Amino acid sequence: MTAADDRPQLYLVTPPAFAPEGYGDTLARVLDAVPVACLRLAMASTDEDAISRAADILRDIAHARDIAIVIERHVILAERLGLDGVHLPRGQHGIRKLRDQLGPDAIIGAACGAARHDGMNAAEAGADYVAFGPVGASPLDDGAQAGRDLFAWWSEMIEVPVVAEGALTPALIEDLAPVTDFFAIGDEIWNDADPLAAMRSLVAPLGL
């Protein structure tokens, strides 16, 4: 078990598609039971009205609990909808320009796959965090995994917080806990009939 002072924080990622009202109730139940530092709205839809409606509901739920909420991809909507920042799924590109646009207080995160070089570029460009993954076996993309050695190197050499995500298991969480700052959790729990029970089982090694 990881010491409380050194435990990574939890970062929750929404499903790619959901009915906002019903999902909001489920989300609130999880947030009230488990400490979460940040929420990512990661809808696959390109329907602005649908994204905006979901963002309004989730923003109120998150902010009522002092939890930051960022949106994946849609930079313009981050400002318009009163969200706390944006998550870039394609790494370091455009971070400096985005910082000028969103201001110094906005959260800007960058997903960098398993590429250390991309992560370093994102950090140098001003990202607030860098996410590596998947850390577990996945048939998606090219199948490349972000190994423990990448997180160990990053935590020793780079000050920018690092996020581990993708195909997480309790064993991976226990193994990576000493070398990551956040675990981003999404499909691991939302695909379960009881997301809260799934979350508690998944993060049990953290002693939360």
pLDDT, residue 94, reads 86
Instruction: Give the SS3 label for residue 28.
Output: helix
Per-residue pLDDT reduced to its tens digit, 166-205 = 999 999 999 999 999 999 999 999 999 999 999 999 999 9
Over range 49-69, report the average pLDDT.
Answer: 97
- What percentage of the chain has pLDDT greater than the value 70? 95
pLDDT exceeds 60 at position 73: yes
Rounded to whole angstroms, what are the CA distances from 188 to 151, 184, 193, 197?
Answer: 20, 10, 11, 11
Q: With helix as H, strand as E and coil as C, how does 76-87 read?
A: HHHHHCCCCEEE
Is the pLDDT confidence value at 5 over 70? no
- Alpha-carbon Rg for the chain in angstroms: 16
**Cα gap 107→96, rounded to integer Å:** 13
Whole-angstrom Cα distance, residue 98 to residue 166? 25
The whole-number pLDDT of residue 92 equals 66
DSSP bridge pairs for 109: 87, 129
Q: What pLDDT was estimated at residue 140? A: 65
Structure token digits, residue 145: 């995994």
What is the CA angle 142-124-73, rounded to 5? 55
Domain-wise residue ranges, the chain: 4-206
Q: Which helix (H) or strand (E) holds 17?
A: none
Strand-strand pairing, 9-13 and 162-165: unpaired
State how far the Cα of 174 lies from the Cα of 151, in Å rounded to an integer.
13
Q: Calculate the alpha carbon distances from 44 to 37, 58, 112, 146, 187 in Å.
A: 23, 16, 19, 23, 13
Instruction: State the chain's mean pLDDT as an integer.
Output: 94
Residue whose C-alpha is closest to residue 66's, from 41, 110, 108, 31: 31
Structure tokens at 79: 């400002």
Tell me the CA distances in angstroms from 133 to 88, 136, 164, one per residue in order: 14, 8, 6
The topology (CATH level 3) of 4-206 is TIM Barrel (3.20.20)
Give the model's confidence band at 158: pLDDT under 50 very low, under 70 low, under 90 confident, else very high.
very high
Q: What is the mean pLDDT of residues 145-158?
A: 97
